[in-house]
Amino acid sequence: MRRAWAAFTVLVLAAACRGRSEAPSARADVARSGTPLSSSTPTRDAAAESTPVAVDGGTLQRRLLGEPTSLNAVLQTSLPEAQVLQYVQRNLFDFDAALGLVPGLAASMQVSPDGREYVVTLRPEAVWEDGKPVTAADAVFTIRKIADPGIPAPVFQSLYDGLERVEALDIRRFRTVFREAYAFREMAFVMPVLPAHRFEGRDFRKAPDNRAPLSSGPYRVAAWKSGESVELARNPAYWGPRGHFDRIVLRIAPDNTTAYRMLLAGDLDEDQMDATLKARAESEPRFSDCCRLVEFYTLDWSYVALNNRSPFFEDARVRRALTMLSDRAAAARDLYRGSARVISGPWAPDSPAYDASLPPLPFDPAAAKALLAEAGWRDSDGDGTLDRDGRKFAFDLTVPAGFETGRQVSEMLAAELAHAGVTARVRTLEWAAFIERVDAGEFEAASLAWSAVDPNPDPYPYWHSSQCPPHGLNNGCYRNPEADRLMEEARRELDPSKRTALFHRLQRIFRDDAPAIFLVNSTQKFGFDRAVRGVTTSPLGLSGIWPGPVGWFMQPTPRASNAHGLVQRRPA
């Protein structure tokens, strides 16, 4: 699955969180995950439900899809960095498994009545690996680096777009002032803090800490073998509750099949799988002997972007017809093998912005053809392809290479459209070339998927008419004055329930206007060694939440039977 740029929804306890301090462990324990799957796809995490008392010790072996680029938390760009850094660098605040904010390095946060000023107080006990305290000066240094346009900090930069100033008030407190209030501003503080003293007089982008960061978390980097693995050991100076494992090895295994075999061989305790390997795992006794499946829905969702500026898609009736020609339920059943749900708007069902009571547009080819005819698309020359004013209804549907499910869904859609006299030519483009065109708005239709980095549901950057290419992310340049107004209102609305009502109204407009063909929300699938316990899933995935993987542990003794009645393998 492509990790596209995304940022979506959810229940931010915007107002509720302010100024409240909570013990992270208490919060996280309550929040055993996100969303149970529907009865047709039962959750495979039964073993984790009956979690025994946590045990300390042992080595955890996790999979990295690729080499981390930099272990400077501000410079991180992709999942491997996030997976390593989660153990090494604490954030000011974190999302818990229910997507609420929980304190990390920070103890509390106060917001001014106008919603522009945030005063964050750090925990007095928080220290770096070298024993020096984590100070407000460190936080101010980090925020200034993030906001510095000369520093490539893509994961955090947009969170500080409206930053006016940031200043330390004393050793533990700092104030951040933004130019305007924003409903999801708190999420800006789900950010790491770097030790300012380690970067003094050094080029920020090349400091030695970028390879061997000074830890503020439960583990520190013990070794980094380029292209092979990153090894973590306990940080003896850590100020919070100890992690359970003595040692964590993150192995770089780019190939899915090899990683699956490594899991079976005991060289990995955790492995993210695709739908094909999941099906294989379900049928192989070798898998069930050692391992179990953990599958859950995230905030990720897929769609076919339509260029609303193209003569084919400027009419909402045509866009709606295309959605209705697409048998999304069949795609969920056959291509995603049941691990997907059809969506009716630009959020995943687990986002609080999403209105589950609003059904998606139906699969109804007859009604779709009527809509197309109403919009003037008819087969006037009898060649089987619709036309209007001498123009054939034929367009390119671009798919990024390597996004296999996206390609299959696109082929299926093209076949369905062909029955209605619409020609979609599926074209594959290498990722960098693909995304360059999409960003520039130079495409007709494109298969895309969003991965949620945070639960921010704000649709403004992606669907507001002011955000059309080349400078915004509204790739298809969707324009609707009513939707614009609701989006503007929602990002200013500080009351969560009123905001949700606005999102629900927006969702109805998105569904009926069909700025894109909204497809499905699908699951993430992991294979786990049976001995690994305490696994918490969340709509953000396994990582990206606190304590997340830091709360995992190894059940050291094999038991005669477990939840599945199978013999457990002793961990290596």
Partner 1 sequence: MIRYVLRRLVLAIPTLFGIVVIVFVLVHLAPGTPVSGGGEALRRPTGRAAEELRRLYGLDRPIPERFGAWVSRAVRFDLGESFVDRRPVGERIREALPHTLLLNGVALILALVIAVPLGVVAGGHPEGALDRVSGVALFALYSTPTFWMALLLQSLFSVQLGWLPLYGVASDPAPSGLAGLVDRLAHVALPATCLAYGTLAFVARLVRSGIAETREADYVLAARARGASRRRALWTHAFPNAILPLLTLFGLLLPALLSGSVIVERIFAWPGLGRLFFDSILARDYPVILGLSLLSAVATLGATLVSDIASAAADPRVRDGTAT
- CA 148 and chain centroid, separation: 25
CA atoms within 13 A on the CB side of 340: 25
* 3-class DSSP state of 541: coil
In the complex, minimum distance from the CB of residue 334 to partner 1, in angstroms, rounded to a whole number = 25
Structure tokens, 373: 């005819």
Structure tokens, 283: 């049928």
Structure tokens, 351: 């986002």
Tell whether residue 83 is a contact of partner 1 (CB under 8 A).
no
Task: Indicate the residue among 156 and 239 with the shorter CB distance to partner 1.
Answer: 156
Task: Indicate the residue among 117 and 228 with the shorter CB distance to partner 1.
Answer: 228
Q: How far apart are CA 518 and CA 536, in angstroms?
A: 29
Choose which of 471, 557, 560, 565 interacts with partner 1 (CB under 8 A). Answer: 471
Region 474-533 residues binding partner 1, contact defined as CB under 8 A: none
Q: How far apart are CA 345 and CA 355, in angstroms?
A: 9
Binding mask 186-215 for partner 1 (x = CB under 8 A): -------------------xx---x-----
Tell whether residue 535 is a contact of partner 1 (CB under 8 A).
no
Q: How far apart are CA 202 and CA 210, in angstroms?
A: 11
Tell whether residue 225 is a contact of partner 1 (CB under 8 A).
yes
In the complex, minimum distance from the CB of residue 434 to partner 1, in angstroms, rounded to a whole number = 8
Q: How far apart are CA 65 and CA 85, in angstroms?
A: 15
In the complex, minimum distance from the CB of residue 214 to partner 1, in angstroms, rounded to a whole number = 18
Task: Indicate the residue among 314 and 404 with the shorter CB distance to partner 1.
Answer: 404
Q: How far apart are CA 537 and CA 46, in angstroms?
A: 12
Tell whether residue 267 is a contact of partner 1 (CB under 8 A).
yes
Task: Indicate the residue among 3 and 505 with the shorter CB distance to partner 1.
Answer: 3
Element spanning 460, H or E: helix 460-463
Tell whether residue 2 is a contact of partner 1 (CB under 8 A).
yes
Tell whether residue 255 is a contact of partner 1 (CB under 8 A).
yes
Q: How far apart are CA 232 and CA 248, in angstroms?
A: 5
Region 345-384 residues binding partner 1, contact defined as CB under 8 A: none
Structure tokens, 148: 């510095």
The number of residues making up the chain comes to 572
Region 396-455 residues binding partner 1, contact defined as CB under 8 A: 400, 402, 430-437, 439, 451, 453
Q: Are 120 and 109 in contact (CB under 8 A)?
A: yes
Choose which of 42, 154, 359, 376 interacts with partner 1 (CB under 8 A). Answer: 154
Q: Crossing angle of helices 316-325/404-419, nearest 10°?
A: 110
Tell whether residue 69 is a contact of partner 1 (CB under 8 A).
yes
Number of residues that bind partner 1 (CB under 8 A): 60
Q: What's the N-to-C CA distance of the chain in angstroms?
A: 30
Stretch that binds partner 1, among 63-71, 291-299, 319-327, 336-344 (CB under 8 A): 63-71
Choose which of 13, 15, 22, 67 interacts with partner 1 (CB under 8 A). Answer: 67
Pairing of strands 520-529, 270-273: antiparallel
Choose which of 25, 35, 51, 77 interacts with partner 1 (CB under 8 A). Answer: 77
Structure tokens, 493: 């609305």
Tell whether residue 251 is a contact of partner 1 (CB under 8 A).
yes
In the complex, minimum distance from the CB of residue 117 to partner 1, in angstroms, rounded to a whole number = 24
Binding mask 110-149 for partner 1 (x = CB under 8 A): ---------------------------------------x
Q: How far apart are CA 95 and CA 369, in angstroms?
A: 45
Among candidate residues 385, 404, 405, 401, the one with its CA nearest the CA of residue 393 = 385
Choose which of 261, 378, 504, 569 interacts with partner 1 (CB under 8 A). Answer: 261
Beta-sheet strands, E only, within 113-182? 117-122, 163-168, 173-178
Q: Which residue has the tokens 């993210």?
A: 272
Interface contacts to partner 1, rule CB under 8 A = 2-3, 5-7, 65-67, 69-70, 76-80, 82, 149-150, 152, 154-155, 157-158, 205-206, 210, 225-229, 249, 251-255, 257-258, 261-262, 264-265, 267, 400, 402, 430-437, 439, 451, 453, 471-473
